[in-house]
Amino acid sequence: MRKVVLFCVALGFAGCEPTIPDSGLEALPPKLADTTAAGIAVVADTINVLEDTVALVDGNPAEVEETSLPNAASIALSDENDFEAVSNRQTIESDAERLAINRMQYVLIEPTELPVRPGTDIPNVVEYALLTSNPVGAPLYPRSGLVSENSHLYRCGQYTSSTEAQEVFLKRGGPKRDWLGLDPDGDGFACTWDPLPFRLALPEG
């Protein structure tokens, strides 16, 4: 049955050849005879290819080589949240030494008078940024701790920008005093104001 099917398929391919009135090779001109012989050879090759294809389909599928996945247990994870592991590496003394080194790296140069914009009483936040060296979030001034996060966000939302909030903060007693609750962490910077861009803009030398 398989050979019958293959032969029918081969005949389909042969049907693509030009129609020849007389099927006898001897009755054809030499060029047409060569063409017909070539067509028969193509049909024979097609049958062989189809037989090989069917044999592959009927045979056993090739074994798929299994690809081993990395074992999740072998992947090292950070143990910073493991209290026992961290306590084995660090002690109270090492923590105190690390904090002391951090404090030495950041030196606050407190201005005697807050810089203001020429001709106004608005504090100059650019000069203030260059007069400080502590990073955002590093507490330098005592705060009451009574300002909640929601209250802080609400108060900061009353200003059009963090720069405006910083100017008002400095004008109303900052950085030492925070009457408006704009600097609850005591780093000297109101709301989301960041002095780093101004420091980076200062040419070295």
Same domain, 33 and 100: no
Same domain, 97 and 46: no
Prediction pTM value: 0.45
pLDDT on residue 25: 47
Structural domain boundaries, residue 158: 93-205
User: What percent of the residues of the chain are helix, what percent strand, and what percent coil, each to the nearest 5?
Assistant: 45, 0, 50
Same domain, 120 and 198: yes
Contact 138, 186 (CB under 8 A): no
Burial of 195 (0-12, 13-18, 19+ CB in 10 A): buried
User: Is residue 20 in a domain?
Assistant: yes
DSSP one-letter code for 180: T
User: Is residue 85 in a domain?
Assistant: no
In angstroms and rounded to an integer, the radius of gyration of the C-alpha atoms of the chain is 43
Domain count across the chain: 2
Contact 169, 183 (CB under 8 A): yes
Same domain, 110 and 186: yes
Same domain, 108 and 182: yes
Distance of alpha carbon 25 from alpha carbon 16, whole angstroms: 18
Question: Tens place of pLDDT for every residue, the chain, 205 residues?
Answer: 655 555 565 555 555 555 555 544 455 555 545 555 555 565 566 666 556 655 555 555 545 455 555 555 555 566 656 666 666 666 777 777 777 776 666 655 555 556 665 666 788 999 999 999 999 999 999 998 899 999 999 999 999 999 999 999 999 999 999 999 999 999 999 999 999 999 998 777 5
User: Is residue 148 in a domain?
Assistant: yes
Only one residue has tokens 């106004």, namely: 120
Question: Is residue 12 left, alpha or beta, with left meaning phi > 0 and alpha meaning psi from -120 to 50?
Answer: alpha
For 21-62, what is each residue's pLDDT tens digit? 554 445 555 554 555 555 556 556 666 655 665 555 555 554
User: Is residue 60 in a domain?
Assistant: no
Distance of alpha carbon 158 from alpha carbon 149, whole angstroms: 15
Same domain, 199 and 100: yes
pLDDT on residue 98: 72
Same domain, 105 and 176: yes
Distance of alpha carbon 160 from alpha carbon 162, whole angstroms: 7
pLDDT on residue 34: 55
Same domain, 24 and 103: no
Same domain, 109 and 203: yes
Q: In this structure, which amino acid lies at residue 36? A: T
User: Is residue 67 in a domain?
Assistant: no
Token pair, residue 72, equals 């999740």
User: Is residue 73 in a domain?
Assistant: no
User: Is residue 145 in a domain?
Assistant: yes
User: Is residue 59 in a domain?
Assistant: no
